[in-house]
């Protein structure tokens, strides 16, 4: 696999951002392991509970988040080209699709809560609400960060320090996307 062509050899974002994101990945890894350990104890009940989740909404949410992440990556490329106007549009597109993810998630939560949770599926949905809920909070924080980034993109201020700040925010948002890929696989597909 070839490395992305960024045109420069500088490292994107500050080291602190890479450290923070890595820490978050480790925490979610513990979540994934915990879920699969409990699942192995009552696999049939988990598979049955999983059927009441909407794969269509989950898939649509996944595509929305992947597309949001892609637009943000393109936005960062435009920032490097010092094209603030185009970059702002990409960042805004990313924000809109990230917001769509939240709408999809809220509709899923409402749908499930109003349908009720049976005794046999209680454990599955305890993990589902806690882990996707924590991810939901990450998405909200990410959207706030994206909003701040959009407000700060100005052509006359696109120095290396500002670029690093924008890249840091983008790396956080890509982490949100990355974590959802595993959550989607574990809760909806496996």
Partner 1 sequence: MNTSTLKTTLAWLTLCATTLVSVGASGSRSVGELSAVVLAIAAFKVLLVMHYFMEVPQAARLFRLAYYGWLALVLAVLSFLLW
Give the separation between CA 74 and CA 137, rounded to whole angstroms: 25
CA distances from 185 to 36, 50, 84, 179, 181 (A): 12, 11, 36, 10, 6
Smallest separation (angstroms) from partner 1 to the CB of 134: 17
Q: Which C-beta is closer to partner 1: that of 158 or that of 171?
A: 171
Smallest separation (angstroms) from partner 1 to the CB of 82: 14
Signed CA dihedral, 165, 170, 173, 179: sign only: negative
Give the separation between CA 84 and CA 121, rounded to whole angstroms: 49
Give the separation between CA 26 and CA 182, rounded to whole angstroms: 13
Which residues of this protein are in contact with partner 1, per CB under 8 A? Answer: 1-7, 9-13, 15, 18, 22, 25-26, 29, 32-33, 36-37, 40, 47, 50, 55, 59, 62-63, 66-67, 69-70, 72-74, 77, 170-171, 174-175, 177-178, 181-182, 184-185, 188-190
Smallest separation (angstroms) from partner 1 to the CB of 69: 5
Q: Which C-beta is closer to partner 1: that of 4 or that of 116?
A: 4
Q: Which C-beta is closer to partner 1: that of 61 or that of 150?
A: 61
Q: Which C-beta is closer to partner 1: that of 91 or that of 156?
A: 91
DSSP string, 90-119: HHHHHHHHHHHHHHHHHHHHHHHHHH---G
Smallest separation (angstroms) from partner 1 to the CB of 27: 12
């Amino acid at each position: 696999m070839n490395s992305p062509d960024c045109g420069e050899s500088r490292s994107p974002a500050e080291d602190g951002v890479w450290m923070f994101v890595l820490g978050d990945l480790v925490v979610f890894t513990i979540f994934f392991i915990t879920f699969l350990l409990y699942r192995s104890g009552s696999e049939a009940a988990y598979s049955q509970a999983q059927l009441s989740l909407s794969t269509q909404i989950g898939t649509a949410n996944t595509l929305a988040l992947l597309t949001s992440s892609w637009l943000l990556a393109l936005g960062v490329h435009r920032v490097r080209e010092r094209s603030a106007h185009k970059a702002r549009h990409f960042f805004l597109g990313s924000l809109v699709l990230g917001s769509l993810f939240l709408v999809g998630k809220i509709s899923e939560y409402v749908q499930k809560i109003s349908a009720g949770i049976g005794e046999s599926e209680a454990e599955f949905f305890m993990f589902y609400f806690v882990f996707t809920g924590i991810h939901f909070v990450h998405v909200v924080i990410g959207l706030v960060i994206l909003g701040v980034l959009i407000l700060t993109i100005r052509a006359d201020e696109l120095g290396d320090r500002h670029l690093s700040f924008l890249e840091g925010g983008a790396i956080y948002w890509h982490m949100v996307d990355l974590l959802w890929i595993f959550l989607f696989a574990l809760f909806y597909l496996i």
